[in-house]
Amino acid sequence: MIIILKKETEKKDIDIILNKIKENNLEPLYLPGIEKIVIGAIGDERVLATLNLDALPFVERILPVLTPYKLVSRDFKHEDTIINVKGVNIGKEFVVMAGPCAVENEQQLTITAKSVKKSGANVLRGGAYKPRSSPYSFQGLGVQGLKLLKKVGDELNLQVITEVISPETAETVAEYADILQVGTRNMQNFDLLKRLGKIKKPVLLKRGMSATVEELLMAAEYIMSEGNHNVILCERGIRTFETATRNTLDLGIVPLLKQKTHLPVIVDPSHATGIRALVAPMAKAALVAGADGLIIEVHYNPEAAKSDGMQSLYPDQFDALMQNLKILAKVSGKEMR
Ligand code: PEP
Ligand code: MN
């Protein structure tokens, strides 16, 4: 439920409402906006209805939140959420995260990271724990991979993002990474989501390969309801009848999500297509569709990549794409460094 207070409401009156909500074992949320003061109350709406809050003189309106997700909803928070990751403002400027699918060794990571940095990437990606379809495929370097990622990120002054695949390893990953990625296979790993909600580092939540928009938003709600409001959503393609591409990029959900939620939305054209030649066109389409950023696989030598070489861009392709994105950002009224 959303309680909208008159603009001039004093702090003592705001506290009256917050306390009433708490006394009834509901969770209060104070969301001061520029135009209005909004108080959220999470929990059983029937209890709230009995409190007669609309009788208070400083209450302007009370609105039910009709969606099953609350904290995630734009009804709850009108302004865009901006997540500041050491100076990179996700949700404000157009952010590009790039790097190899997996951290393979120091040389591979360093060469690739230097090239993406030179081309203008803001965040370095690289998996240390790889959730592979086959148990016989490369599973990632684990903690050694995390250490390499942090080392190279620090050397090049790049923020780093990497995937967390289990609640047990979440704290360890959080020691090294600036953004924690939840992969498509774990979007509904609720124990993991709850753990990440407690850790409070920014989380990039990828859409499950067969998840609906509502399921994606409810997964984000899991993280936020534990206290971590720094969630970035990511469309990375879904399973359809079409097998000509690895997945089907569902670009329509980008503007749809921007309506439904205040959270930043980014697109992964690499896993969405699985085909190198399709990555740049879909990356550009994502920007124009209103995405807040991209996460793209780049490898200095894709033929030798231990995973996802087919969809990894060569550094010069990534560089050309970045130049094009900068032009598109300008005409789309987006900030891009
Ligand atoms: C990845 O980013 O390397 C990855 C495994 O992504 P997804 O979870 O979208 O398949
Ligand atoms: Mn990959």
**205-262 pLDDT per residue, tens:** 999 999 999 999 999 999 999 999 999 999 999 999 999 999 999 999 999 999 999 9
Q: How far is the CA of 268 from the centre of ligand 2 (A)?
A: 10
In 3-state terms, what secondary structure has residue 280? Answer: helix
Cα 332 from Cα 326, distance rounded (Å): 10
Task: Specify the pTM.
Answer: 0.93
Structure tokens at 211: 């998840």
**Candidates 162, 186, 268: which one to mutate for ligand 1, based on the most atoms within 8 Å of Cβ?**
268
Q: Are residues 112 and 43 in the same domain?
A: no
| Chain Cα centroid distance, residue 312 | 21
Q: Which residues, including other chains, have CB under 8 Å from residue 10's CB and lie 6 or more apart?
A: 58
Q: Are residues 179 and 276 in the same domain?
A: yes
For residue 323, the model assigns a pLDDT of 98
Query: Minimum mean pLDDT among 65-69, 70-74, 160-164, 266-270: which range?
Result: 65-69
The sheet that has 27-32: what strands, in order across it? Answer: 27-32, 37-42, 2-5, 59-63
Tokens 């861009």: give the residue: 313
**Band of pLDDT at residue 32, cut at 50, 70 and 90:** confident
| Residues found in the chain | 337
Cβ contacts of 284 within 8 Å, gap of 6 or more: 321, 324, 325, 328
Same domain, yes or no: 230 and 275 = yes
User: Are residue 290 and residue 173 in the same domain, yes or no?
Assistant: yes
Number of helices (H), then strands (E), in the chain: 11, 14
Atom of ligand 1 nearest to the CA of 127: 3
Measured in Å, residue 37 CA sits from the centre of ligand 2 at: 43
The answer, yes or no, to whether residue 33 has pLDDT greater than 80, is no
Per-residue model confidence (pLDDT) at position 47? 84
Q: Could you tell me what percent of the chain has a pLDDT over 90?
A: 84
Torsion of CA 230, 39, 42, 184, to 10 degrees: -20
Domain CATH number, residue 204 = 3.20.20.70
Question: Cα–Cα distance between 59 and 38 in angstroms, integer?
Answer: 10
Same domain, 24 and 168: no
CA of 260 to the centre of ligand 2 (A): 28
| Alpha-helical segments (H) within the chain | 11-23, 45-49, 106-119, 143-156, 170-176, 190-199, 213-225, 253-260, 269-273, 276-289, 315-331
Query: CA 216, CA 295: separation in Å to the nearest integer?
Result: 18
pLDDT band (50, 70, 90) for residue 42: confident
- Tell me: do 39 and 97 sit in the same domain: no
Residue 271: name the closest of 202, 186, 206, 218 by CA: 206
Q: How confident is the model at residue 76 (pLDDT cuts 50, 70, 90)?
A: confident
Query: Domain of 47?
Result: 2-63
Quote the CA–CA distance of 236 and 308 in Å, as a whole number: 14
DSSP state of 91: T
The pLDDT of residue 228 = 97
Do residues 221 and 316 share a domain? yes
Q: What is the mean pLDDT of residues 142-161?
A: 98
- For residue 162, how far is the Cα from the chain centroid? 12
Lowest mean pLDDT among 56-65, 103-112, 129-138, 186-195: 56-65
Same domain (yes/no): 222, 288: yes
Q: Ligand 1 atom 4: the closest Cα is on which residue?
A: 183
Residues 6+ positions from 323 with CB-CB distance below 8 Å: none
220 and 88 in one domain? yes
286 in the same domain as 200: yes
Our count of domains for the chain comes to 2
Percent of the chain with pLDDT over 70: 100
Give the number of whichever ligand sits closest to the CA of residue 247. Answer: 1
Do 135 and 189 belong to one domain? yes
Atom 5 of ligand 1, residue of closest alpha carbon: 183
The three-state secondary structure class of 292 is coil
